[in-house]
Amino acid sequence: MKTFTTIVALVAMLSAANAVTIAELAGSTPDLSILVQAATAANLVDPLMDPNARLTVFAPNDAAFEQLLAMLDVSAEELLADTETLATVLQYHVVPAVAFSTDLTDGQVIPTLLGATLTVTINDDGVFITPTGGPMAQVVAADIAADNGVVHIIDTVLLPAAAGPVEETMAAPTME
């Protein structure tokens, strides 16, 4: 019995030592480096490191952020300096539940940490996430599991209707 208890304790210690949170997963994914910088600037890393959290993150890849920077005609430093807007935008990418791709259905509306919703579209071209009034993002890598949730990498930064200056800047060229 003592040997069994020792083995169970050893397995538990090894599992804990190999635990990877969403924040650690993002930090070790080269194509999410701008997202990591943004989460750090907006003080949102701690919630993503919480081992007790159960989250889904729709993580914009670096190309998505570069596209946003080009559309806004701002530098990464300027974007990262607006921490309030950044926090709002990033919370729009986090769902307070674990949702693997097999859990998502076409037309499903899912709540975000921001309190707004995203709509899931599934068709022959793939899985898409659409914010209210914003451009849809395609899931380019799905079901990247972490101990506290799952990450789906997307090709567009999702912008909530109330994102402040970033949203106003994005909407301005389309107003006629």
Dump pLDDT digits (tens) for 103-162. 999 999 999 999 999 999 999 999 999 998 888 999 999 999 999 999 999 999 999 875
Average pLDDT over residues 8-25: 61
| Predicted local confidence at residue 32, as pLDDT | 98
Sign of the torsion angle spanned by Cα atoms 147, 152, 158, 162: negative
Dump pLDDT digits (tens) for 34-56. 999 999 999 999 999 999 999 99
Q: Report the CATH architecture of 20-174.
A: Roll (2.30)
